[in-house]
Amino acid sequence: MPAQRTGRRADVVIVGAGILGINQLYRAVQAGLSVQLLEQGAGVGGTWFWNRYPGCRFDSESYTYGYLFSAELWQEWDWSQEFAPQPETERYLNYVVDKFDLRRHIRLDSKVTSAVWDEAAGEWATGTEDGFQVRSRYLIATTGVLSVPQYPDVPGREDFRGEAYHPVRWPREPVDLRGKRVAVIGTGSTGVQIAPAIADEVASLTMYQRSATWATPLNNHPISAAQQAYLKANFASIKARLDASVGGFLHQPAGKKWTEDTPRQRQEFFEAVWNSPGFAKISANYDDLVVNPEANKDWCAFMAGKIRGIVRDPATAEKLIPTDHLYIGLRPPYVTGYYEMYNKPNVELVSLRETPIVKVTETGIETSDRLREFDVIIWATGFDFGSGAMLRMGVVGADGLRLADYWADGPLTYLGIMTRGFPNFFFPGGPHGAAGNNPRYGELQVNFVQDLIDHAGARGRRRIEVPKADEQAWMDMIAQLEAYSPFQKRGQYYGANTPGKPKAYLLNPGGRPKLDEFMAKAAGSGYEGFFA
Ligand code: NAP
């Protein structure tokens, strides 16, 4: 039932105090609106509150990931490393919340379980698991694309008597892994980040790998005093470059194609790329890497050579080299000491392609060849990506339309932030929104939402809904450009890792240029058709 019409009210209800929720809250408060932010967790930070696992850190450069809405904040906050670890990012987000006096708008431990549009009142009625109810003109879900943990449907998973963790639900109190026999299931970005961080302290570490991935070095380093001074002195130009960049990074595109170089030049170039930071492996690689399979294969051969050079046991090295996809066929992870870790005597790699899991027992994991016993199992098995959190909020729009029904075949969105039939409902950072450094995409979307709300407020408009044609145009763009996506259809970006989820593309294949284009068109027309 919708919350009572009498009772608690706010102009805006925001769900989720992650990086975008805090940004949206900042904008709404600046605009003079009353805001209630509801956060499921016991603290702010979203991804950076929940993911406390050892080794968790950015793989976008710290200063390109943080907020750009305040030059003062940029000057005050010193990132310690090129790719900051989770505790630092959590501290940063708490600092932002306190600096801008946002905490008083935030209610923690508040998991939203229902959000119902009341057409007669022109309001959303939102309720939480613990019975808190609030009505608002606008509802904004900044619930994130990577917030709902995904556990595999492995027989006996619940039978295990030892400790079991999913990295996104890593306990706040320290977990003592010293001297324990630990299994990590999954070698996506999370599994390969956690493993080298714990390999030295555990008695044994067994990695269960289904798909090998093309992991490359993160190449992290402390931010020196000189770099810090450079960052502080160049806020405006760095912001301008980030604002103009396609993926939200500062990396310089190579400006040349693989076909233009000799074999020897290619090897030298790939060596430089291997030694470059994080996502520069994509954004500063050859311009034709994604569209020319020969270029991509050559880069993969180079990486395979690196893996063989690092991992001393040839059989382990071969298992670690992907044979079923080229670079970016799956989301490539960026690692520190991952391949080197396999040279430790206490680390073992189990290929689930060769010996699949039969069941989990009370004491360990049985694969088709044998049972291995463990004290701890870490399920680094990913997320119900993109739409998972929103579809668990009980969202019901106009005419009793359930979001779960409207999206039964996959999300239908406009800019990854609105969906038809759900007036005054926005979800910046949602499915179809991003394809790169998420906060840079999300910031565009947060600003679009607040600008639209401001525009409506200034003209006395109370009901905002995306026109059918505009939603269709965005969906047509997704369908057209998705054809060029390098991602395989079996991964999270198609929802294929989540049982029962419709297979539909969940990223924005047009990148920031398409977001910019569509946003400029909407704003330029005075948001024509958006107001009833
Ligand atoms: P993921 O990329 O979906 O990887 C999940 C892993 O679990 C895959 O190796 C998968 O194998 C395996 N898996 C799933 N079900 C399994 C089963 N039934 N049996 C055996 N293995 C199974 O999830 P993730 O590693 O948590 O990463 C998710 C996203 O989080 C990333 O794409 C990235 O955007 C983000 N992330 C970023 C960072 C960072 O450095 N900033 C760190 C961590 C995560 P298959 O591939 O064969 O399905």
Cα separation, 511 vs 518, in Å, equals 11
- Measured from the Cα of 382, ligand 1's closest atom is 23
Task: State whether 447 and 366 are in the same domain.
Answer: no
Distance 488 CA to ligand 1 centre (A): 14
Distance 34 CA to ligand 1 centre (A): 38
**Residue 204: in which H helix or E strand, if any?**
strand 204-209
Task: State whether 291 and 362 are in the same domain.
Answer: no
Distances (CA, A) of 132 to 80, 142, 289, 391: 39, 19, 51, 20
Handedness of CA 115, 116, 117, 121 (dihedral sign): negative
Distance 162 CA to ligand 1 centre (A): 22
Task: State whether 345 and 209 are in the same domain.
Answer: yes
- Measured from the Cα of 357, ligand 1's closest atom is 19
From 64, 83, 157, 190, the mutation candidate for ligand 1 (largest count of ligand atoms within 8 A of CB) is 190
Q: Cβ contacts of residue 66 below 8 Å, gap of 6+?
A: 73, 74, 77, 79, 92, 439
Structural domain that includes position 274? 245-312
Domain assignment present for 328: no
Q: Does the structure show a pLDDT above 80 at 1? A: no
Mean pLDDT of the chain: 96
pLDDT given for residue 277 in this prediction: 97
CA-closest residue to ligand 1 atom 24: 382
- Measured from the Cα of 334, ligand 1's closest atom is 40
Domain assignment present for 222: no
Distance 491 CA to ligand 1 centre (A): 9
Distance 209 CA to ligand 1 centre (A): 10
Domain assignment present for 77: yes
Confidence of residue 329 (pLDDT cuts 50, 70, 90): very high
Confidence of residue 6 (pLDDT cuts 50, 70, 90): low
Task: State whether 132 and 161 are in the same domain.
Answer: no
Taking residues 75-84, report their average pLDDT.
Answer: 98
User: Of 281, 312, 343, at which residue does a domain stop?
Assistant: 312
Task: State whether 440 and 484 are in the same domain.
Answer: yes
Task: State whether 140 and 153 are in the same domain.
Answer: no
From 319, 441, 492, 497, the mutation candidate for ligand 1 (largest count of ligand atoms within 8 A of CB) is 497
Query: What's the per-residue H, E or C state across 210-253?
Result: CCCCCCEECCCCECCHHHHHHHHHCHHHHHHHHHHCCCCCCCCC
Domain assignment present for 229: no
Domain assignment present for 94: yes
Distance 110 CA to ligand 1 centre (A): 27
- Measured from the Cα of 192, ligand 1's closest atom is 25
- Measured from the Cα of 211, ligand 1's closest atom is 47
Lining residues, ligand 1, CB within 6 Å: 58-59, 146, 152, 154, 185-191, 193, 210-211, 331, 334, 352, 380-383, 492, 497
Distance 238 CA to ligand 1 centre (A): 32
Contact status, residue 297 vs residue 328, Cβ threshold 8 Å: no
Strand-pairing partners, residue 347, are: 205
Mind listing the pLDDT tens digit for each residue in 123-176? 999 999 999 999 999 999 999 999 999 999 999 999 999 999 999 999 999 999
Task: State whether 361 and 437 are in the same domain.
Answer: no
Distance 378 CA to ligand 1 centre (A): 12
What is the number of domains present in the chain?
3
Distance 220 CA to ligand 1 centre (A): 21
Q: Which two tokens stand for residue 101?
A: 């006096």
Q: Cβ contacts of residue 295 below 8 Å, gap of 6+?
A: 257, 258, 259, 286, 288, 289
Q: Does the structure show a pLDDT above 80 at 17? A: yes
Task: State whether 18 and 133 are in the same domain.
Answer: yes
Domain assignment present for 218: no
CA-closest residue to ligand 1 atom 27: 189
Confidence of residue 4 (pLDDT cuts 50, 70, 90): low
Contact status, residue 219 vs residue 277, Cβ threshold 8 Å: yes
Cα separation, 520 vs 30, in Å, equals 22
Q: Which two tokens stand for residue 458?
A: 């200034």
CA-closest residue to ligand 1 atom 23: 382
User: Of 366, 382, 398, at which residue does a domain stop?
Assistant: 382
Task: State whether 395 and 471 are in the same domain.
Answer: yes
Distance 382 CA to ligand 1 centre (A): 4
pLDDT given for residue 5 in this prediction: 63
CATH number at residue 378: 3.50.50.60
From 146, 328, 381, the mutation candidate for ligand 1 (largest count of ligand atoms within 8 A of CB) is 381
Mind listing the pLDDT tens digit for each residue in 413-429? 999 999 999 999 999 99
Confidence of residue 435 (pLDDT cuts 50, 70, 90): confident
Distance 62 CA to ligand 1 centre (A): 22
Distance 353 CA to ligand 1 centre (A): 16
The radius of gyration of the chain's CA atoms, rounded to the nearest angstrom, is: 23
Mind listing the pLDDT tens digit for each residue in 441-495? 999 999 999 999 999 999 999 999 999 999 999 999 999 999 999 999 988 999 9
Domain assignment present for 157: yes
pLDDT given for residue 173 in this prediction: 93
Q: Does the structure show a pLDDT above 90 at 276? A: yes
Task: State whether 131 and 81 are in the same domain.
Answer: yes
CA-closest residue to ligand 1 atom 18: 152
Mind listing the pLDDT tens digit for each residue in 181-223? 999 999 999 999 999 999 999 999 999 999 999 999 999 999 9
Task: State whether 286 and 377 are in the same domain.
Answer: no
Taking residues 340-361, report their average pLDDT.
Answer: 98
User: DSSP code of 414?
Assistant: B
Contact status, residue 248 vs residue 60, Cβ threshold 8 Å: yes
Domain assignment present for 327: no
Confidence of residue 532 (pLDDT cuts 50, 70, 90): confident
pLDDT given for residue 95 in this prediction: 98
Strand arrangement, sheet containing 376-379: 163-165, 376-379, 181-185, 204-209, 347-351
Taking residues 176-182, report their average pLDDT.
Answer: 98
User: Of 255, 280, 312, at which residue does a domain stop?
Assistant: 312
* 331 CB-contact burial (10 Å; exposed 0-12 / middle 13-18 / buried 19+): middle
Percentage of the chain with pLDDT > 70? 99
Query: Three-state SS for 334?
Result: strand
Supply the angle between the helices 19-30 and 86-99 in degrees, to the nearest 10: 10
Task: State whether 164 and 304 are in the same domain.
Answer: no
- Measured from the Cα of 490, ligand 1's closest atom is 48
